[in-house]
Chains A and B, each alone.
Chain A
Amino acid sequence: MADPIIEISGLYKLFGSTPSNVMPMVHAGKSKDDILAETGHTLGLKDINLSIERGEIFVIMGLSGSGKSTLIRHFNRLIDPTEGVINVEGVNVMDLPQKELEQFRRHKMSMVFQRFGLMPHRTVIDNVAYGLAVQKVDKTTRLAKAKEWLKTVGLAGYEDQYPNQLSGGQQQRVGLARALCTDAEILLMDEAFSALDPLIRSEMQDQLIELQEKLHKTIIFITHDLDEALRLGDRIAILKDGELVQQGEPAEILLNPATDYVEAFVKDVNRARALTVDTVMKPPVCRITSETIGEALTEMKKHKDDYGYYVNEDGYQGVILQETLEDAAKENAEDQLCEDVYEDIPTISPDSVLEEVIPDTIDNDFPLPVVDEDGDLQGQLSRSSVVKVLGNS
Chain B
Amino acid sequence: MAEKSWLMEFPQMERKDLVGIRKSLDGLYRDFSREYGDLIESFFDPLLYFLVWFEKLLLATPWWVIIAVITGLVYLATRSWKMSLGTIVAFMLIGYFGMWDNTMRTMSIILVCTLLSIVLGIPIGIAMARSDRVQAVVTPMLDVMQTMPAFVYLIPVVMLLGIGKVPGVIAVIIYAIPPVIRLTNLGIRLVDKEVMEAATAYGASAFQRLYQVQLPLAMPTIMAGINQTIMMALAMVVIASMIGVKGLGQPVLKSITNQYFTMGLLNGLAIVVLAILFDRVSQAYAKRTQKHLGGNQHG
**B11 contacts the other chain (CB 8 A):** no
CA distance A168 to B299 in the complex (A): 9
Q: Encode contact with A along B267-299: 1 for CB under 8 Å, 0 otherwise.
A: 000000000000000000000001011111111
Are A120 and B297 also in contact (CB < 8 A) when A115-B194, A162-B292 are? yes
Q: Which residues does B use to contact A, with CB under 8 Å?
A: 192, 194-195, 197-205, 208, 212-213, 216-217, 290, 292-299
Q: Which A residues between 35 and 81 are near B, CB-CB below 8 angstroms? A: 73, 76, 78
| Ranked 9 nearest A-B pairs via Cβ | A106-B203, A164-B299, A117-B198, A105-B203, A111-B201, A117-B194, A162-B292, A131-B202, A102-B203
How many A-B residue contacts, CB cutoff 8 Å?
91
A: contact size bracket: 35 or more
A-B contact sample (5 more), CB < 8 A, given A78-B197, A104-B203, A162-B299: A76-B201, A109-B201, A111-B202, A118-B198, A134-B199
**A103 contacts the other chain (CB 8 A):** yes
Are A113 and B293 also in contact (CB < 8 A) when A78-B200, A106-B202, A121-B216 are? no
Contact present for B293 and A121 (CB under 8 Å): yes
Q: Report chain A residues within 8 Å CB of B292.
A: 120-121, 162, 164
Q: Report chain A residues within 8 Å CB of B296.
A: 164
- Tell me the nearest residue of chain B to A162, going by C-beta: B292
* A134 partner, pick from B192, B202, B290, B293, beta carbons under 8 A: B202
CA distance A135 to B199 in the complex (A): 12
Are A135 and B198 also in contact (CB < 8 A) when A120-B217, A164-B295 are? no
- Tell me the nearest residue of chain A to B201, going by C-beta: A111
CA distance A376 to B248 in the complex (A): 98
Contact present for B297 and A116 (CB under 8 Å): yes
How many Å from the CB of B172 to the closest CB on chain A?
32
* A165 partner, pick from B194, B197, B216, B299, beta carbons under 8 A: B299
**A242 contacts the other chain (CB 8 A):** no
Contact present for B297 and A121 (CB under 8 Å): no
Contact present for B293 and A120 (CB under 8 Å): yes
Subset of 9 A-B contacts with CB under 8 Å: A106-B202, A113-B198, A119-B199, A120-B292, A121-B217, A164-B294, A171-B297, A182-B202, A188-B201
CA distance A317 to B134 in the complex (A): 80
**A130 contacts the other chain (CB 8 A):** yes
- Tell me the nearest residue of chain B to A161, going by C-beta: B299
CA distance A109 to B198 in the complex (A): 12
How many Å from the CB of A195 to the closest CB on chain B?
9
**A350 contacts the other chain (CB 8 A):** no
Q: Report chain B residues within 8 Å CB of A115.
A: 194, 297
